[in-house]
Amino acid sequence: MTKIQALSALLAGTVLFSSTGCSLGKNKEKKHEIQKFTGLYCARNDTTLDEDNEIRNIIAEKTGYILYEEWMKDQADVDKIFSDMMISRKYPDFMSPDGPNCQRLIKEGAFIPLDNYWDKYPNLKSLYSDAEWETLRAEDGHIYYIPLFSAVNKQVTGNVHDGEAFWIQVRVLEWANYPQLKTLDDYFDLIEAYIAANPVDENGEPYIGYEIQATEVRMFALDNPPMFLDGHPNDGCCFVDPDTLEAKDYNLLPTAKKWFSKLNEEYHKGIIDHDCFFMETADYYDKLATGRVLGMVDQHWNFGSTERKLPAECTYIPFGLTIDGTLTEHYRDNPAFNASTGVGVSISCSNPDGAVEFMSKLIEPEILNLRYWGIEGTDYFVNKDGYFDQTEEQYKNWNDTAYSLKHKCEYSYMPHFGGMAPDGKNAYAPGNQPNIFHDHLAPAIQTCFDAYGKQTYSDFLNTPSENPPWYPMWSFESSATKETEYGKVSSMLSDLKHKYMPLMVMSDDFEKTWEEYKTAYNKAEPQIYFDALTDEVHRRCGIATSMNN
């Protein structure tokens, strides 16, 4: 069955839904008419909930709606899947596409305008500020999607760094007696030394010193480290001078050359996996799953589901390297307002008013707690001080894959608040609750944390400062289309990077390949693109200023 066929099998309809066994003992004999919705989400997700998932059914009882989610596991199919939908004009009820396809779908009229519902559902509007909503308005003045993972209740909570870093295995740090790592040389010298002393694992398989994911849709681990190494936050496509508000290009700066030169050196030493540029997406995760990959640059959201299956000593610790070890690193940030995409309701939805009502109900306090904490007494308890906690059995169940599939339902790609739970006292999810996190660290990880004087993964990196009004610029870059001159230039630059960056790593004559890359890059007239980015910086700052006056 193809992905499109599978999605078609989830066409929206109204079903009779029995609450027996899923209603916490209430109304066991009563049947409710539940509106069924379908959703397609452009995210890598290895899990499909059980048909009779318990919390999904409870949410259905309480809201009157149930959602069946379909995930795009193979990101290479994204453009074709959405193109086929636009041709047929048949869409699932909810869609959360990638940035470029989000803009294409809006231009094709595939979404209903959501701002028409703000007065009726003010809690949806409360997810973001007026200034943030203004950045989402399409050319016709309407807002067609709700950004995800950007809304924070009261304050950020998080023990795990979900963003980008230089990651290295716990056992490598333990072997070296927990050294300080500040530069590329520190990092790769450690990996080289470990492999020299331990060339193979306990099964006789050779270690992979450093892995790179560099596919058509995942290039950031190769592309943007120069930005971080020079101490800039994750604007992705540029860095912004805070004094002049000018978007600047890091791709040909001295640090970029040093980065690729270092990768070239490590590649020829055999530290970098020689298969890295010939792998499909699944191959990368398969290699991480062996536990033999000692280090990589990645964003934790991209590999966390694979890491969770590894023994503690094979999991990864983040380090915020800079090019000379003296610059202040900015690998962590506050949740970025991603203006490029989100979740919207399609024109194919037979009950768009109900779909928007469902989104509104999903962020009501009771439903939010069900989504992210589960059922009180079953999944957590409230201690005498009012803090949510878990018994050992509850913690084990909550983190068990089979239990999760039959019981938990986060609806993670639907609107929600991060940060604090609705009560303002607890974290919004168990994984962010400090007492639960600390009590359940594996001994190998606890020892590592203690050696560095850290309490959480996030502590290994600097505390983020407040996001400036333009941040992050990648939310604009990912919306660039070939219908504009800057979009055409962006596409050319992307093509050049996909061609030359692997070549620079593998080249037997790095200087020659670097010069070829510089020539081709400059020929594409990149300043056209960076001028457009600068204009967007000014626009965002202007909106923020006008909304604050």
Dihedral, CA atoms, 531, 536, 537, 538, nearest 10 degrees? Answer: 90
- The count of C-alpha atoms lying within 13 angstroms of the C-alpha of 155, restricted to the half-sphere facing its C-beta, is 9
How far apart are alpha carbons 235 and 311 in whole angstroms? 33
* Residue pair 101/82 in contact by the 8 Å Cβ criterion: yes
Please indicate, yes or no, whether residues 170 and 310 belong to a single structural domain of this protein. yes
Please indicate, yes or no, whether residues 361 and 247 belong to a single structural domain of this protein. no
How far apart are alpha carbons 512 and 497 in whole angstroms? 16
* Confidence at residue 5, expressed as pLDDT on a 0 to 100 scale: 44
Does residue 466 form part of some domain?
A: no
* Confidence at residue 30, expressed as pLDDT on a 0 to 100 scale: 46
CATH of the domain at 103: 3.40.190.10
Please indicate, yes or no, whether residues 120 and 191 belong to a single structural domain of this protein. no
Cis bond before residue 199 (omega within 30° of 0): no
What string of DSSP letters covers 419-463?
A: EB-TTSSSBSSGGG-HHHHHHT--HHHHHHHHHHT-SSSGGGSPP
Please indicate, yes or no, whether residues 417 and 479 belong to a single structural domain of this protein. no
Does residue 399 form part of some domain?
A: yes
* Largest distance between two CA atoms of the chain: 76
| pLDDT averaged over every residue in the chain | 91
* Confidence at residue 346, expressed as pLDDT on a 0 to 100 scale: 98
- Give buried/exposed letters for 256-290 (b at 16+ CB in 10 A, else e): bbebbbbbbebbeeebbbeebbebebebbbebbee
How far apart are alpha carbons 160 and 458 in whole angstroms? 5
Identify which of 542, 441, 528, 442 has the alpha carbon closest to the alpha carbon of residue 485.
Answer: 528
Please indicate, yes or no, whether residues 353 and 247 belong to a single structural domain of this protein. no
Position 19 pLDDT exceeds 60: no
For residues 316 and 435, which has the higher predicted lDDT (pLDDT)? 316
What would the pLDDT profile of 451-498 be if each residue is shown by its tens digit? 999 988 999 999 888 889 999 999 887 667 788 999 999 999 999 999
* Confidence at residue 28, expressed as pLDDT on a 0 to 100 scale: 42
What would the pLDDT profile of 283-304 be if each residue is shown by its tens digit? 999 999 999 999 999 999 999 9
Does residue 273 form part of some domain?
A: yes
Alpha helices of 230-334 — where are they, by DSSP H?
254-268, 281-289, 300-307
Domain interval for residue 447: 164-336+435-460
Please indicate, yes or no, whether residues 38 and 72 belong to a single structural domain of this protein. yes
Please indicate, yes or no, whether residues 138 and 260 belong to a single structural domain of this protein. no
Give the contacts of 41 (CB within 8 A, at least 6 positions apart).
Answer: 69, 70, 71, 72, 95, 96, 343, 413
Q: Confidence band (pLDDT; 50, 70, 90) for 339?
A: confident
Q: Confidence band (pLDDT; 50, 70, 90) for 268?
A: very high
Does residue 190 form part of some domain?
A: yes
How far apart are alpha carbons 478 and 497 in whole angstroms? 15
Does residue 332 form part of some domain?
A: yes
- Give buried/exposed letters for 83-111 (b at 16+ CB in 10 A, else e): eebbeeeebbbbbbbbbbbbbbbbebebb
Q: Three-state DSSP class for 343?
A: strand
Quote the pTM value: 0.73
- Range 124-140 average pLDDT: 93
- Range 38-46 average pLDDT: 80
* Confidence at residue 32, expressed as pLDDT on a 0 to 100 scale: 62
* Confidence at residue 4, expressed as pLDDT on a 0 to 100 scale: 44
Please indicate, yes or no, whether residues 179 and 303 belong to a single structural domain of this protein. yes
389: β partners = 381
Please indicate, yes or no, whether residues 281 and 400 belong to a single structural domain of this protein. no
Please indicate, yes or no, whether residues 452 and 307 belong to a single structural domain of this protein. yes
* Residue pair 166/187 in contact by the 8 Å Cβ criterion: yes
For residues 13 and 63, which has the higher predicted lDDT (pLDDT)? 63
For residues 16 and 404, which has the higher predicted lDDT (pLDDT)? 404
The domain total for the chain is 3
What string of DSSP letters covers 140-200?
A: TS----B-SS--EESS---SS--SEEEEEEHHHHHHTTS----SHHHHHHHHHHHHHH--B
Q: Is 493 exposed, middle or buried (0-12, 13-18, 19+ CB in 10 A)?
A: buried
In the structure encoding, which two tokens stand for residue 10, read together?
Answer: 């989830």
Cα separation of the two ends of the chain = 55
Does residue 465 form part of some domain?
A: no
Please indicate, yes or no, whether residues 318 and 379 belong to a single structural domain of this protein. no
Q: Is 50 exposed, middle or buried (0-12, 13-18, 19+ CB in 10 A)?
A: middle
Please indicate, yes or no, whether residues 128 and 252 belong to a single structural domain of this protein. no
Does residue 467 form part of some domain?
A: no
Give the contacts of 189 (CB within 8 A, at least 6 positions apart).
Answer: none
What would the pLDDT profile of 489-530 be if each residue is shown by its tens digit? 999 999 999 999 999 999 999 999 999 999 999 999 999 999
How far apart are alpha carbons 166 and 297 in whole angstroms? 5
| Phi, psi (degrees; rounded to nearest 5) at 210 | -150, 130
Does residue 158 form part of some domain?
A: no
